[in-house]
Amino acid sequence: MAGTTIEKIAVTGLACAVPTTKYKTESYIERFGETEVGKFVDMVGVKERYVSIENQTGSDLCYTAAKELLSYKNIEPSTIDALIYMTQIPDYKQPSTAYVLHKRLEIKQDCLAFDINLGCTGFIYGITVMASLINSGLVKRGLLLVGEVSKADKMTDNHTNAMMFGDAGAACIIEQGESQINTLLKSDGTGFHIMGIQGGQARHPLNKENPDWDSIEPHMNGFETFRFAITKAPSVWKEFSKSFHCTIEDFDYVIFHQANKFMVDHIAHKMKLTKEKYPLSIDRYGNTNGVSIPITIVDLCEREENIPETIKLLCIAFGVGLSWGTISIVLNKKDVLPMIYSDDYYEEAYSIKFGQGEET
């Protein structure tokens, strides 16, 4: 798509939740050896990250974040007209996890609810889709949720998968307002195989007798991913700046998807950014996929005392799809909640049997 301005939109609340258990990357030395772990930390930059307990899913973290955000903003669930859940790891194959969240958050029936399967660009896509729904008049106030719980560490002997991904959920309120967002999103399906999880769905279902567990793990061509990101991220910014006649100085911060520190540093270097301009959170939260941009914003607001009351942000994301893009948003610092730590999960979900009448 070409760069588009969506008018009369405001992002009026943002909260993120992470589990309470912190894994330090150095604790993997025994498992993978000092050299491997050292190289990983130098390159990828993850020093620690938060990992969910077994029963906790991305929707649980989003529920916690949304509950706190709605309460803080004093918003009645009956005023929410759309709930979109961005995830790659839904609670169920069917229905969309958005309906589980719709029930738990006690949102009215006059509401759209659906999931979108997107990874690292989940937040910027979600904002764009929700803003478009609002701009069309269909929705006045929307709740955007982005959640990922990879469970990768428990499944994998792949060093990168085991040490890279952090678990997190974000909740964001977007509604009619006096601000605007500028958005520019791109897709390239020719790279659909460069990263992803191949097995477990219709094309390659798990074989009942002899399941190929490796096929349901994330696989990534690191070289091609790196090449894609360092080329596309700076070029989409260039196109964005031309479309909207803006420069880096028009933004307080540039928030990158926290894929890999070396990669993000390289992109920032190409965009001639100073270290102060692009905050990092990957060192303490890992790569949390689509949640990494909201996590970085929440972390920034919590950590930095001298940020303006109204923050102008340029968000740049790139990832599985291949999908990439950039959006600009304006946030009030007072609308960003401090990081929430929680191991809460939807206990009743474990006693519900699908297709067996009313839930009691």
Partner 1 sequence: MSIQEKIALLEEMLELEEGTLTEETKLEDLEEWDSIAAISYIALLDDKFNVSISANMINSFQTIADALSYMK
Residue from 186, 198, 215, 226 binding partner 1 (CB under 8 A)? 226
| Closer of 179 and 231 to partner 1 (Cβ) | 231
Residue 262 touches partner 1, criterion: CB under 8 A: yes
The whole-angstrom distance between residue 320's C-alpha and the CA centroid of its chain comes to 12
266 near partner 1, judged by CB under 8 A = yes
Indicate whether 224 belongs to the interface with partner 1 (CB under 8 A). yes
Please, what is the minimum distance in Å from the beta carbon of residue 36 to partner 1? Answer: 10
Q: 10-49: string of b/e by CB count within 10 Å (b at 16+)?
A: bbbbbbbbbbeeebebeebeeebeeeebeebbeebbbbbb
43 is an interface residue for partner 1 by CB under 8 A: yes
CB atoms near residue 94 (< 10 Å): 8
Smaller CB distance to partner 1: residue 149 or 230? Answer: 230
CA 263, CA 340: separation in Å to the nearest integer? 28
Spatial contact of 307 and 334, defined as CB atoms under 8 Å apart: no
C-alpha to C-alpha distances, 144 to 82, 196, 359, nearest whole angstrom: 8, 23, 26
Window 231-250: residues binding partner 1 (CB under 8 A): 231
Whether 166 and 283 have beta carbons less than 8 Å apart is answered as no
State yes or no: residue 32 binds partner 1 (CB under 8 A). no
Return the SS3 of 50.
Answer: strand
User: Is residue 227 at the binding interface for partner 1, with CB under 8 A as the rule?
Assistant: yes
Q: How far is the CB of 293 from partner 1 (least distance, A)?
A: 23
Beta strands at 168-176 and 181-187: parallel, antiparallel or unpaired: unpaired
> How many Å from the N-terminal Cα to the C-terminal Cα in the chain?
47
Decide if 289 contacts 147 (C-beta within 8 A).
no
In terms of Cβ atoms closer than 10 Å to its own Cβ (0-12, 13-18, 19+), residue 290 is: buried
Does position 270 interact with partner 1 (CB under 8 A)? The reply is yes
CB of 115 to partner 1, least distance (A): 32
CA dist 119 and 221 (Å) reads: 16
Stretch that binds partner 1, among 201-209, 266-274, 279-287, 307-315 (CB under 8 A): 266-274
Can you tell me which of 230, 311, 316, 336 binds partner 1, judged by CB under 8 A? Answer: 230
Helix (H, G, I), strand (E, B) or coil at 130: helix
Shortest distance in whole angstroms from residue 266 CB to partner 1: 5
162 three-class SS: helix
Contact call for residue 350 and partner 1 (CB under 8 A):
no
Q: Which of 39, 73, 154, 333 binds partner 1 (CB under 8 A)?
A: 39
Supply the minimum distance, in Å, between the C-beta of residue 17 and partner 1.
32
Q: Work out how close the CB of 319 gets to partner 1 at its nearest, in angstroms, rounded to a whole number.
A: 17
Does 221 participate in binding partner 1 (rule CB under 8 A)? yes
Question: Measured from the CB of residue 245, what is the shortest distance to partner 1 in angstroms?
Answer: 26
Does position 158 interact with partner 1 (CB under 8 A)? The reply is no
Q: Is 17 in the site for partner 1 (CB under 8 A)?
A: no
Binding residues with partner 1: total (CB under 8 A): 15
Name the residues that contact partner 1, by CB under 8 A: 39, 42-43, 221-224, 226-227, 230-231, 262, 266, 269-270
